[in-house]
Structure formats: C-alpha cells, structure tokens
Amino acid sequence: MNVNGVEHPAPIDPRRLLADHLRHDLGLTGTHVGCEHGVCGCCTVLLDGEPVRSCLMLGVQAEGHEITTIEGLARDGEPLHPVQQAFHECHGLQCGFCTPGFVMSVVGLLARHPQPTAQQIEEGIAGNLCRCTGYASIRRAVSRAVELRAK
Amino acid sequence: MPRRRDARDLKPPPFQYHTPATVHEACSLLGSLEDAKVLAGGQSLIPLLNFRLARPKHLVDINGIAALDRIYERDGGVAVQALVRQAAVEDSEVVARICPLLSSAITLVAHRVIRNRGTVCGSLAHADPASELPAVLLALGGRVVARSARGERTIAADQFFVGVFETALAPDELLVEAWFPASRQPSLILEESRRHGDFALAGVVRADDRLALFGVAPTPVLADPRDPARGLEPSGDLEATPDFRLHLVRVLADKAFAA
Amino acid sequence: MTTRWFGAPVQRVEDDRLLRGKGRFTDDIGGALECCFVRSPYAHARVQSIDVSAAREMPGVVAVYTAADLPFGAIDLPLLIPHPNLTHGRTQRCLASEVVRYAGEAVAFVIAETRYLAEDAAELVQVEYEALPVVITPEAAALAEHLVHQDVPGNVAAEMQQVVGDVDAALANAPRRKHLRLRFERGAASPMEARAVWASWSSEERKLTVYDSTQSPTSIRGGLAVLFGLPESSVEVIAPDVGGGFGPKIMLFYPDELLVPFAAMQLGRPVKWTEDRQEHFTAVNQERGQVHEVDVGFDAEGRVLALSDDFIHDGGAYTPYGIILPIITAAQIPGPYRLPSYRVRFRDLYTNATPTSPYRGAGRPHACFVMERTLDAIASDLNLDRIEVRRRNMIRANDFPYDVGVAWQDGNTVVYDSGNYPELLDRALALLGPKPAGDNVGMGIAVYVEGTGVGPYEGAHVQVLVSGKVIAATGIPSQGQAHATVWAQVVADELGVDVEDVEITSGDTRRFPWGVGTFASRGAVTAGNAMHVAARMVAGKAKAIAADHLEANPDDLELAGGRVFVKGSPDKGMPLGAVAVLSNPVRYAFGGGTEAATQFTGRSRPGPPLHDGEQPGLEATGYYSPPGSTWASGCHAAYVRVDAKTFRLEILKYVVVHDCGRVINPLVLQGQIEGGVAQGIGGAFYERLAYDEDGQLRNGSFMEFLMPYATEIPAIEIDHIETPSPLNPLGVKGAGEAGVIPVGAVLASAIEDAMHVPITEMPLSPLKLYELSMLKT
C-alpha cells in the first residue's frame, strides 16, 4: 500500500485494523482512534482520495490503494494545508484529538464541493464527533478553508 | 446493536482471510467453508467484528473481484452490483434519472464517509430492520440476484427480508446485484431519527401508491396507506416505545401521502 | 502593567503540531507491552473464583494479574477528599477479589505483546460470580431494600444539612407555597480520547516514568511514590497531549494508574494500557444523577421567602472523590438570587453503578435546573412574567461581596466576589430579540453563577533563556483549553516579549513538580495568576541585573520588545537574553548579547558575583493561592420549536451573555462557551446513561449514547460583560464549565413554554415529550 506517497507492506495479521496499522506499525500516530466502531470519525483517512474510517477497514484491505493521512497533507517545514490553516485561524480545534479526522473529512468535502453550501458544510462535518468546540468554529473553519483554497 | 454483558473488546477476533478474484471463486469459497462471512464495504460487519459480536471462522473479502462495481440500466430500472459504494449511487446520474427515490434515500444512510465505503448490496444483505435501503427495495418491488456454486437465482424483495438481520440468502450465496425499478412520482422517503445519519426510529417509503415502512417490524413491511399501523407490533428501545413508533409511522405516512 | 497580549484574540500556539498530526497523546507512545482488563459483567456479585491459568499459558501473553498477585491488592484505593459528613466513605480495590459493585469493575489485568492478543487472553479468564441484588437508582438506594455495601446502613455514604434563616417559619407564613420534584439522570463526559497510561521503569537510574492522560500528574506522582516506596525524585509523571478531560480524567487513582506502572516495574519492560470506548463507558466516572424535593414559599409578587430542598445524590458504587458534587449542588442552588431563608439537605447514596465524580459543571447544572424551574413554577402559579420574577429575586449589582451563608467546596462559605446579574439578564434579552412567529415556539431563560478558581494553589516557573526566548512551566496539565496560549499572553505582557517567544510546558512533573490539577474552571485563575506572579518576579530580577549593568535605577527601566531599557531611551538598554547571560556568574553563552555580559567590561559590581540572597539564572518560581473562589456568572436564553407530531426539537436561537471577569483571550473564551453549550445540549436532549434494573448500561457505545453531531448543534450568539474579580491580580474568573451549566434549565423552560406541559426532569427526548403530551391529553 502507498501511504502518503511511500510504499509500505500490508500487515501480516489480517485482523489488524487499518487504523492500528497506520498508528502502531507505520508510526503515523496523527490518525486517532476514538471509538473503533465507526461513529466518531477520529480515524478518518483518505482512501484513493475519498475519506473513509480506518477503524472500519482491515489493514490488508488497503493493499494496492493510496492512503493519505493527516501527516500527508503538509510535509514537515511546509506551510499548513489550507484546511489545516483554516482550522488554526478559526480556533477550530481545542484538544486536537478529533482534529485529524475532521480535517480529512473536510478535505474530502471540498474536493467534492469546492464551493459548498451551508447545508453541504453541515452534512460534510456531520460524520465526525467533537466534544470540545461545539462545532461552531469548525463550521467557520470550513468556510475559511474555501476562501484560502481560492487564493 | 445486540448486547453482551462481558464488555471488554474492540479488536476483531482471529479469522481466516480469503480474497477471491472472481465471483466464481467467491462462490466456491462460500460453498466449501464452514462459518464464512462476506466482507464487502464492512461498515456494518467490521463494527460487529470489533465488538466480537460476530466471530466468523472465515472472512471472504470480495473487494478484489473485478467488474462487480457497475451501476447500469436494466429492465427499465437500475441494477446495482455488489461492490457499488453507496456514495457512487448517491452521485450516479443513471440512478438520479431512473430511480430518484434511491438517490434521495441514500443520503439518509449514515454519513458520506461511511457511504464512501459501504455498499448498497451489503446494506440489503445486512437487513437491519431500521435501515432505509431494504424499505426502498420493498416499496419499489425490486429484487436481488444471488449467486452460488449451485447457480443463480432471483429473489423478489418481498421474499428476501425474512427477519431481524436475516435474509433469504443461503450461507453459500453471494448477493451479486440488486435491481431497483424506476421510481415514479410521487415517491419519497421520510424518517425520524435521533441524530442526522442515525438509524430511523421509524420511517416510510412511498413509491407511487405503495407504502413500505421501516423500523417498525423485524423487516421492512408493505402497508396500507389508509391504515399504515394496522397489525404492527414494533419493538421498543431506549429511544422509542412500540406506541411511539406506531405514532411516528402514522404521522410520517400521513405526511408522505399528503404531499 | 502593559496589556498588549492580555485581551487579544491571539491564535493558538498549540495548533501547529496538532494540525499536522504531530501531537503526542499517550497512546501515540509505542514500544510497550499492551494490556486489557477483565471487568465484571455483573453490577453486584460475589466473586467466587478467578482462574487465569489458560490465559497465562496463551502464546503472546506476558502476565496476568489478579488481586492476589498484587502487594497492594488488599488495600482500599485512596479517598481523595475526606469530609466529616462522609461518615461511610468507601473506595474500591485495584482489582476486585471478593465483591464487585458495578458492571465494569476491574477483576483481572492481562498483559500481552499486543492488545489483540490481550483481548484474546482475557476471554480465557474464567471468573465465577454469585449474583447479588442490584441497587441502581438513587430512589432505590434511598429505599435501601438492598445494600451496596453490607456495612453501610441505608446506603447512605454521607448526609449533610445546612440552614440559613428560619425556613420552617418562613414557609409556614408564606402567602403561597409550591412543591416540586425534579430529577436529573446520569450522563457522561465522553472526551474523544479515552484514558491511557504508559509506564517505563529504568532499574539503572531507578526511575519510573509514567505518561498518563490525567488531569493531575503531580498528585499521581505523589501517590505512586508512596505506594512503591520511592522518593518522589524517582517518579516522573507527564500528562502529554490529552484529548479532552471534562472532569473524569481526575480520580486518583483509577486502577490502571497503579497497575500499569506496577507491571512495568515487575516486568522490566514498558507497559501501555489504552482504554477503548466500550470500557470507557463503564470504567470511567460519571455524574449528574440527583432527585430533588423542593418546597418554596413566596409572596404575591413572586419573591421567594423560603426555599427548602431535600435531595439525594447518586454516588455510584464508591466515593473516591468524596462528596464534592452534592456540596457544590447545595451551594449553588441559590445562584444569582436572594433567598431570605434556605435549607438544603442531601444524602449521598451508594448505587451499583460506576462511581461519580465531577463532569464539566459538576453539580451545578442540577442546581441551576432546580432554582430556575422553581422560579418558572412561581411565575406560572402567579401568572407573572418569568423574567419579572427573576428580576424581583435577583442579587443587585451593589450587593457585592455577597455572602450566601452555605459551605463551599474549599471549606469556606460561599461569598460572591463580584458580578452584575441584572445586566446579564438585560443583555441576554436584547440579544435574544423578538419571539419568532409560528406555533409550538417557546422561550427559555436561565441565570446562573459558577464558583471557579478554587484553591489551594498553583505555581509556575518562568525562565528567560540566553536566546531571549522564555520558557514557563506549571504543574497542571491541559486537555484542550489553550493554556499554552493564554498563559503565554500573561507571561509575554510581564516580560515585554512576543507571545510566540514564550513556550509553556504544563502537566510535566519533570518541569514543575508542584500543583493540584486541572478542574473546577481553575486553570486561568490559579495557574494564570501564578504565571503572572512568577513572570513579574523575573521582570523584577531582569530590571535589577540590567540596572546594575546599565548604571540605572531599576525603577526607571521597562521591558518591551524583548529588551530592558531606560524608559524613554530605548537605546539605553540591552536584550533580555543578555540579561539572562548576566544572571549567571559563569557567563558563558552562545548567541547575541554575550559581549555585553562579559566580566571584563569593567562594570561589574564589587563583591562576589552572586551576592547574598541572589540566585543565578533569569528565572523565578511563583505561586498563587486564592483567598476564595471567583464567581463567574451568565445568562442563557433560547427560542425553540417542538414539532407537535414528531416531537423533534429545533433550537431556533440560542444566546449567551457571560461574565468571567477580565477576558484574557476572547477567541479561546468563545470556544470554551460554544463547546460548553454544545455539551449542555447533548446532556439536555440527546445523552443519558440508561441502566437497566440489573445494572447493565444499555447504551454504552457511540451508536446508542447520542452525542450530538454538528447537525444537532445550532449557532450560538455570545456577548460578554467584564466585572473583574477583586481577588486576584489579573482580575480573572474561570470560564471552562460555564457554557454547560444552564442549558438544561433553559431548554426545560423553553420546551415547557412551547408545549404547555410541566418539565421536571433532565434529559429529555422526543419519546419523553411524546409521553408528556399523551399525559396532557
């Protein structure tokens, strides 16, 4: 599997969840695990460009696919990705645990709807739980990300 | 979600993992293996594995099968193959043109991130009584195609859903395709759920003059629009008593037929 | 003082690493064995036997512990806050071996090469239980047909009564009286990161290093040192990035906080336990279950003459946290209102459910609910306007300090330091605007106070490096509150540096070993003021050193732009980094400014380089110990619509006017309030912990415990007033819990207004509203 542009072998144990494989075998601990039953969205990564839950995929299933994790959006030393930058500017994160999942979901949302309506924003972030922000600042961050991407 | 008392698990138990490259291969695995489960989108099955509520000896992962992800016109309706993701149906112009009811119903299934991976056929085969797609198939009078080493058969929607999480599929059968007839106006789906994207407390699908209900019986059921709750004995849970479910289904059916 | 950073909407310094996926949460630390608990499936049972032999033999398993394997297996875990009224305090043991008293109580601990294998092995542990009768609601606990602890009569852990004035006489003479029964169910904090502990023991250095997602690493360190017989210098506890806390990440101790370090020492290998979501629902403390019986006497104008509340508190199976929760409730019921006479009695009762300890709001949402429901009931009884009834009872702006006369959680009595409650009410109504048209629309309002910033103290260490950068540390950890930003603002102002040049470390005993913890909306008040005190000491030291060097009077110097200079003569000065060099008599350093610091400049003082009483380094440690709590306050109001047929709730508008004294960072404050309100909405209409009569939690997953998504949370409009606290140098009050406190009261009031059915319980749901509407018809 290709993770953030680098080829990696799939896990040996077929039951190992993709989230665990990314975090503990590949050391990409930016992908977080919040519920392991697909509800919270903390573990969201891009599978061939589309956001999916990495706790609801086996690691072996990513064989032959491209995975992008939060670490793959902006390389070390590079400026933040527009979605990351927007979360920063709008105080779209507090504890930061749900943040990678939200960012990956929003990257997926904006790829599909570069100029999302308010309802598309609402539904685009509605698959992720955040316990800190109350979502208001995340909504603002999505709107800001649209502006930053247009620049 | 069924309960277990000794809660301590959120990692899958061990299983044998199989990756057939063809439908034929998948069917011969399903025909020969004891206690095998088909893994398609995994959005229902993997949570069950993580909770160790499902403990199959074998997982037959069909995601590697080529040419099983087509949406196409067939017999005046739309056929959706086993590996078609719900998101693809949501975005499909063919579906929007022929069966807009399915397009709108899809948006009520969980969230886009789940739909990116979850499949339509998987949702039908899982047969959650509170889920939307089985009721859509039933309301439209659709059917599914099941394949096994023994051959292929077509199962009508009203024969397919037999109980809670239970279908007419035999253990050796693979659901390879679902067929949704064209939806004619007026057709619509209405549901009440606690949160956006949750399974419905109760829901109704209207397809022309047909009415299917979900969340109020062990399977989706067809009902008389003039007396939709007749004969129903829904189960109760934390969010809805049987009485509240009957109330909701009446309210929703009235609304669907007032439109 | 300069106020360049204080009050500015500074964007967070924490964000960059968290946004890049470079945060460091406990489970991110690898290289460790992984573990899993065997937990009781019964809410109350006698443990008859535990057989771990098959689990021990499984390949990949490293160790399996039961109570019998632990040197501390037979001791009760600590009771954090004893109280004279807690006559029957009980705490659990690390691993139960005789009786389990809640479903989820730990019985055995399995350590393996991976969590997968540990879970496999846990399935092989055979425990035989003899089921015992279960006591699950506070009402059942009060009936005491069965006992949770055989040696605790009536299931009563504590009983406490406080009386202000002659309540019986005032009630008897009141022109009108009303009785209300008000009920709050259990909820859960549910931070997105569950709990985790990682530990490593170095036998060479005799050093135990523990990473713990705790809200109180300093106390964990102290406890571990005592338990393991080590000097505190051999134990370091670090709370790294913590994915939300909201209260229950402080208990002192959860069993894992002892077992993981113990296993690491025993096995000589790092050990990590990461709680999964399923066990989080039963193993982590909960809150909010209370039942209140309120009697209120009032006059024809709606003025309260006497209020008597007798309530029972669902304490859960043990009382590790003492009786802080009902004490807070008892203290906070009067809120912003004058009660000429007030009596409150509570009983803290044992039930066969997970223990309780503070969850954001901590006893206050219930208190606010009781008072505001009571005022609405008075208004309804007299057919008076609800707002007018509140005004007539409200403490006025010139009544401060205002002594409520009941006990507070710090042992003092409740004395409100400052506030302006009528102003809150007026502003909220202005912000709320006219009622939207349409049927089934209701208005709700609630005013509350919140005791924040409790003691005993926090401390801070601030140091200017020779680079001119500033590092600062405090003992209390962060769980997302932007501490590193707001404290940097405080420090930057005192030292005249850029906020980006201040790096804060929190919750790491290696950097600051003293302190209490992050709870009770106290971070900004206690650690914030400690930062201020320490930074001011450093500023004074910088002036003294620079004055000597510049041959100037220290009082004539000022700190700004990263330099110390003579006021009005910016050229006559030196970089702060150079002062840091001068502060160390060895005077070696790389970097700019060192030329000025050489001893060969001829400007050195006579005598030894370090005079009596001087300490090297441009650093200082300061402490702040509050004389009493600071009392924040606020008013929330909302319009809602309840669908007459489906009972779906739509929040049409929600406004907040908040007063937490001087605001350090409005951006951060907005986030705290928005997040708090969302949690309040969750707790009022979506989330409840539903136990069945066997004591089984029926909704212990995110599929069934309905935390709101974005689609369920409306936009919130916020306004502020600032009445500075006279109690601390910064004039600040706490803000962390404020958002959540009145939401239940507001929504109850609004739904009652919309549906014309009495709302007496929390949380609500469409089902509950349907049932209430059926009762009405």
What the block records as the tokens of C619 is 């650093």
Neighbours of chain C (3+ CB pairs under 8 A): A, B
Query: Is the pLDDT confidence value at C691 over 50?
Result: yes
pLDDT digits (tens, 9 = 90+) for A10-34: 999 999 999 999 999 999 999 999 9
Query: Is the pLDDT confidence value at B6 over 80?
Result: no
pLDDT digits (tens, 9 = 90+) for C154-208: 999 999 999 999 999 999 999 999 999 999 999 999 999 999 999 999 999 999 9
Chain B: residue nearest A37 by CA?
B47
From chain A, pick out residues whose CB is under 8 angstroms from the CB of B113.
Answer: 41, 44, 51-53, 105, 108, 127-128
pLDDT at position C603, please? 57
Q: Which of residues 45-104 of A touch C (CB under 8 A)?
A: 69-71, 73-74, 76, 80, 84, 87-89, 91, 93-100, 103
Out of B10, B12, B201, name the one closest to residue C276 (CB).
Answer: B10
From chain B, pick out residues whose CB is under 8 angstroms from the CB of A128.
Answer: 113
Out of C120, C279, C765, name the one closest to residue B7 (CB).
Answer: C279
- For the domain made up of B71-180, the CATH class stated in words is alpha beta
Distant-in-sequence, close-in-space partners of C665: CB < 8 Å, separation ≥ 6:
C7, C8, C9, C10, C482, C485, C486, C489
C464 contacts C576 by C-beta, under 8 angstroms: yes
pLDDT at position C410, please? 87
Chain B: residue nearest A107 by CA?
B113
Backbone angles phi, psi at C325, to 5 degrees: -60, -55
**Mean pLDDT calculated for residue range C256-271:** 98
**Mean pLDDT calculated for residue range C271-290:** 96
Query: Is the pLDDT confidence value at B245 over 80?
Result: yes
Query: Is the pLDDT confidence value at B25 over 50?
Result: yes
C15 contacts C667 by C-beta, under 8 angstroms: no
Out of B17, B50, B87, name the one closest to residue A37 (CB).
Answer: B50
Query: Is the pLDDT confidence value at C1 over 90?
Result: no
Domain C15-20+456-624 shares a fold with domain C362-453+628-776: yes
pLDDT digits (tens, 9 = 90+) for C369-400: 999 999 999 999 999 999 999 999 999 999 99
Homologous superfamily, domain C31-132+193-243+250-283: Aldehyde oxidase/xanthine dehydrogenase, a/b hammerhead (3.90.1170.50)
Q: What spatial distance separates the first Cα and last Cα of chain B, rounded to whole Å?
A: 34
- The burial of B75, by beta-carbon neighbours within 10 Å (0-12 exposed, 13-18 middle, 19 or more buried), is given as exposed
What pLDDT band is residue C250 in, cutting at 50, 70 and 90? very high
SS3 content of chain B, % helix, strand, coil (to 5): 30, 25, 45
Query: Is the pLDDT confidence value at C702 over 50?
Result: yes
**Mean pLDDT calculated for residue range C757-770:** 98
B121 vs C455, residue with greater confidence: B121
Instruction: State the SS3 of C448-482.
Output: EEEEECCCCCEEEEEEECCCCCEEEEECCCCCCCC
From chain A, pick out residues whose CB is under 8 angstroms from the CB of C678.
Answer: 133-135
Domain C362-453+628-776 fold is Aldehyde Oxidoreductase; domain 4 (3.30.365)
Query: To 10 degrees, the CA torsion angle through C51, C57, C60, C61?
Result: 30
C713 close contact with A: CB closer than 8 A: yes
CA distance A35 to chain C (A): 5
**Inter-chain touch A36–B50, beta carbons under 8 Å:** yes
pLDDT digits (tens, 9 = 90+) for C729-752: 999 999 999 999 999 999 999 999
Query: Is the pLDDT confidence value at C3 over 60?
Result: no
C570 contacts C556 by C-beta, under 8 angstroms: no
Q: For the ranges B93-97, C1-5, C551-555, which has the lowest average pLDDT?
A: C1-5
Interface test with A, best of B113, B117, B193, B198 (most A CBs within 10 A): B113
Query: Is the pLDDT confidence value at C47 over 90?
Result: yes
Beta bridge partners of C311: C292, C346
Chain C: residue nearest B254 by CA?
C645
CA distance C409 to chain B (A): 36
Distant-in-sequence, close-in-space partners of A19: CB < 8 Å, separation ≥ 6:
A31, A33, A36, A43, A54, A55
**Mean pLDDT calculated for residue range C647-669:** 97
**Mean pLDDT calculated for residue range B190-213:** 96
A30 close contact with C: CB closer than 8 A: yes
**Inter-chain touch B46–A58, beta carbons under 8 Å:** yes
pLDDT digits (tens, 9 = 90+) for C541-553: 999 999 988 889 9
pLDDT at position C411, please? 85
Concatenate the DSSP letters of all residues of C387-413 into one string.
HHHHHHHBPPTT--SEEEEEE-TTSSE
Instruction: State the SS3 of C199-224.
Output: EEEECCCCEEEEEECCCCHHHHHHHH
pLDDT digits (tens, 9 = 90+) for A99-112: 999 999 999 999 99
pLDDT at position C700, please? 94
What is the rounded distance in angstroms from the CA atom of residue C470 to the CA atom of residue C561? 13
C283 contacts C276 by C-beta, under 8 angstroms: no
Out of A14, A36, A127, name the one closest to residue B111 (CB).
Answer: A127
Domain C15-20+456-624 fold is Aldehyde Oxidoreductase; domain 4 (3.30.365)
Neighbours of chain A (3+ CB pairs under 8 A): B, C
Q: Which of residues 95-114 of B touch C (CB under 8 A)?
A: none
Task: Identify which of C448, C421, C440 has the alpha carbon closest to the alpha carbon of residue C750.
Answer: C440
pLDDT at position C607, please? 78
Task: Cis check for the bond before C253: say yes or no (omega within 30 of 0).
Answer: yes
**Inter-chain touch A88–C11, beta carbons under 8 Å:** yes
C126 close contact with B: CB closer than 8 A: no
- The burial of C151, by beta-carbon neighbours within 10 Å (0-12 exposed, 13-18 middle, 19 or more buried), is given as exposed
What the block records as the tokens of C314 is 């669902």
Out of B12, B195, B247, name the one closest to residue C706 (CB).
Answer: B195
Interface test with C, best of A4, A56, A95 (most C CBs within 10 A): A95
Largest CA distance in chain B: 52
What is the rounded distance in angstroms from the CA atom of residue C520 to the CA atom of residue C231? 30
What pLDDT band is residue C492 in, cutting at 50, 70 and 90? very high
Strand C196-202 vs strand C176-184: parallel, antiparallel, or unpaired?
A: unpaired
Task: Cis check for the bond before C724: say yes or no (omega within 30 of 0).
Answer: no
H/E element, C296: strand C290-298
A130 contacts A102 by C-beta, under 8 angstroms: yes
Q: How many CB pairs under 8 A join A and C?
A: 176
A92 close contact with B: CB closer than 8 A: no
B4 vs C334, residue with greater confidence: C334
What pLDDT band is residue C662 in, cutting at 50, 70 and 90? very high
**Mean pLDDT calculated for residue range C513-517:** 95
What pLDDT band is residue C596 in, cutting at 50, 70 and 90? low
**Inter-chain touch A132–C244, beta carbons under 8 Å:** yes
**Inter-chain touch B114–A53, beta carbons under 8 Å:** yes
Q: What is the ipTM of this complex?
A: 0.98
Instruction: State the SS3 of C109-164.
Output: EEEECCHHHHHHHHCCCEEEEEECCCCCCHHHHHHCCCCCCCCCHHHEEEEEEEEE
pLDDT at position C602, please? 56
Out of B5, B194, B247, name the one closest to residue C770 (CB).
Answer: B247
C560 contacts C2 by C-beta, under 8 angstroms: yes
Q: What are the structural domains of chain A?
A: 2-72 (3.10.20.30), 82-150 (1.10.150.120)
Domain B16-64 fold is 3.30.43
Give domain limits for chain B: 16-64, 71-180, 187-258
- The burial of B80, by beta-carbon neighbours within 10 Å (0-12 exposed, 13-18 middle, 19 or more buried), is given as buried
Chain C: residue nearest B249 by CA?
C646
pLDDT at position C674, please? 98
Query: Is the pLDDT confidence value at A67 over 90?
Result: yes
The CATH code belonging to domain B187-258 is 3.30.390.50
Query: Is the pLDDT confidence value at C222 over 60?
Result: yes
Query: Is the pLDDT confidence value at C593 over 70?
Result: no
B13 close contact with C: CB closer than 8 A: yes
Q: Which amino acid is at C738?
A: A
**Inter-chain touch B113–A61, beta carbons under 8 Å:** no
**Mean pLDDT taken over chain C:** 95
Task: Identify which of C670, C686, C661 has the alpha carbon closest to the alpha carbon of residue C744.
Answer: C686
> In degrees, to the nearest 5, what angle opens at C-alpha C698 toward C-alphas C693 and C699?
150
Out of B195, B198, B238, name the one closest to residue C690 (CB).
Answer: B238
What pLDDT band is residue C648 in, cutting at 50, 70 and 90? very high
**Mean pLDDT calculated for residue range C489-505:** 97
From chain C, pick out residues whose CB is under 8 angstroms from the CB of B53.
Answer: none
Sign of the dihedral defined by the CA atoms of residues B224, B228, B229, B234, in that order: positive
Chain B: residue nearest A34 by CA?
B10
What is the rounded distance in angstroms from the CA atom of residue A130 to the CA atom of residue A136? 11
CA distance C722 to chain A (A): 22
From chain C, pick out residues whose CB is under 8 angstroms from the CB of B253.
Answer: none
**Mean pLDDT taken over chain B:** 95
Query: Is the pLDDT confidence value at C342 over 80?
Result: yes
Give domain limits for chain C: 15-20+456-624, 31-132+193-243+250-283, 362-453+628-776
